[in-house]
């Protein structure tokens, strides 16, 4: 596993380096002077010069880039000029809330997809397969900005079971029971598309394994279908599903931006929406790079889990 990790690290670092360059250039290609935008058109020249210096806009582009990367590597993210406060503190506060939401949504997605995949293969019922296919199609077709308001209308307005949005008065982590009530609707909204996609991948992977010779041998020996699926087929189907899981986790984190806005959940999604809306360039740069770091880390973790489940990957570098 260590050798496999060493083989995967150079490509991950290359992606991060390329992403940092693209993010740096993208921010500077936005029309308008960042200092003038933040300070206002009527700001005196001396104030603009000081702000440009604080933003790191002096010197050549290569020197600006190296200065920014050096600050990020040493965890010196600077301060926000629109929202206010230290960028590292703002990210730390928002990251905890986003991880709670993403973790709850992922748990919902994993449970639903696992139950759907196992039920489809073990029961092998035509009507059940039709219902599950309709669920996955609807989950993939309906975006979160549609399912979110529908969930609020049905479960918060017509049937006031859950709060429509926000967090408990004491904050997301003060009262676990109250936090769970506020968390359920956004977690369901965020997790449904992921559950729909994962259930399709897992079901197809399970069905592929059911056609393998070892399954036919076990069936000939009289081993029940349910036992074969749970004890043998599921483990062999997981490596293929892990690749899809890594992609869907990245989608889940990206979708959190919109879901947090719909349900007023104070995470990184709301933070990046405010930063982009206010053209808070230092904060936008760091948040964009952070999103790439998280996605690369998820893909690397997914590859490691895939290699652990399938020895052919870590031994030969391929699964087939």
Encode pLDDT of 99-126 as tens digits: 889 899 999 999 999 999 999 999 888 8
Contact of 77 with 91, CB cutoff 8 Å = yes
Contact of 139 with 193, CB cutoff 8 Å = yes
Residue 99 has what pLDDT?
Answer: 86
CA nearest 277: which of 250, 252, 257? 257
Band of the pLDDT at 189, cuts 50, 70, 90? very high
Which residues is 79 bridged to in the sheet? 86
Range 258-269 average pLDDT: 87
For 71: left if phi > 0, alpha if psi spans -120 to 50, otherwise beta; the answer is alpha
Residue spans of the domains in the chain: they are 87-316
The torsion angles phi and psi of 234, rounded to 5 degrees, stand at -60, -45
For helices 61-73 and 2-29, give the axis angle rounded to 10 degrees: 130
Lowest average pLDDT, out of 55-64, 89-98, 205-214, goes to: 55-64
The torsion angles phi and psi of 111, rounded to 5 degrees, stand at -65, -50
| pTM of the predicted protein model | 0.78
CA nearest 50: which of 62, 40, 35, 31? 35
Q: Has residue 171 got a pLDDT over 70?
A: no
Rounded to whole angstroms, the Cα distance separating 124 from 16 reads 44
Rounded to whole angstroms, the Cα distance separating 151 from 163 reads 11
Contact of 256 with 268, CB cutoff 8 Å = yes
Range 74-80 average pLDDT: 85
In the chain, which residue ranges form alpha helices assigned H by DSSP? 2-29, 34-39, 45-55, 61-73, 87-123, 126-141, 144-152, 176-210, 213-220, 225-228, 234-262, 268-277, 281-309, 311-316
Rounded to whole angstroms, the Cα distance separating 93 from 120 reads 41
Residue 319 has what pLDDT?
Answer: 42
Residues in the chain, overall count: 320
Residue 311 has what pLDDT?
Answer: 67
Rounded to whole angstroms, the Cα distance separating 282 from 90 reads 12
Rounded to whole angstroms, the Cα distance separating 102 from 108 reads 10
The correct CATH number of 87-316 out of 1.10.3720.10, 3.40.50.880, 1.10.10.10, 1.10.1200.10 is 1.10.3720.10
Rank 59-73, 160-174, 218-232, 242-256 by mean pLDDT and report only the highest.
Answer: 218-232
Range 184-202 average pLDDT: 91
CA nearest 199: which of 262, 120, 86? 120
The torsion angles phi and psi of 79, rounded to 5 degrees, stand at -125, 160
- Residue 311, Cβ neighbours under 10 Å: how many? 11
């Amino acid at each position: 596993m260590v050798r496999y990790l060493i083989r995967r690290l150079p490509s991950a670092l290359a992606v991060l380096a390329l992403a940092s360059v693209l993010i740096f250039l993208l921010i500077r290609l936005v029309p308008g002077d960042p200092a003038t935008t933040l300070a206002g058109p009527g700001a005196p020249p001396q104030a603009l010069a000081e702000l440009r210096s604080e933003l790191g806009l002096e010197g050549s582009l290569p020197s600006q880039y190296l200065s920014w990367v050096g600050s990020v590597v040493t965890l010196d993210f600077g301060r926000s000029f629109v929202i206010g406060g230290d960028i590292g503190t703002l990210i730390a506060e928002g990251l905890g809330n986003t991880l709670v939401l993403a973790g709850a949504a992922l748990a919902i997605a994993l449970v639903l997809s696992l139950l759907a995949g196992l039920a489809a293969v073990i029961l092998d019922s035509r009507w059940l397969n039709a219902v599950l296919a309709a669920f996955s199609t609807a989950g993939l077709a309906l975006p979160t900005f549609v399912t979110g308001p529908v969930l609020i209308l049905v479960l918060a307005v017509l049937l006031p079971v859950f709060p429509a949005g926000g967090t408990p008065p004491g904050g997301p982590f003060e009262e676990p029971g109250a936090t769970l009530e506020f968390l359920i609707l956004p977690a369901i909204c965020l997790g449904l598309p992921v559950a729909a996609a994962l259930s399709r991948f897992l079901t197809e992977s399970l069905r592929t394994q059911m056609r393998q010779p070892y399954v036919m041998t076990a069936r000939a020996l009289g081993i029940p279908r349910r036992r074969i699926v749970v004890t043998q087929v599921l483990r062999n189907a997981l490596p293929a599903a892990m690749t899809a899981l890594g992609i869907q986790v990245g989608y889940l984190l990206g979708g959190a931006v919109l879901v947090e806005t719909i349900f007023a959940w104070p995470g990184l999604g709301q933070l990046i929406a405010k930063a982009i809306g206010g053209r808070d360039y230092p904060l936008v740069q760091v948040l964009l790079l952070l999103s790439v770091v998280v996605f690369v880390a998820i893909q690397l973790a997914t590859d490691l889990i895939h290699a652990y489940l399938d020895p052919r990957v870590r031994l030969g570098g391929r699964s087939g």
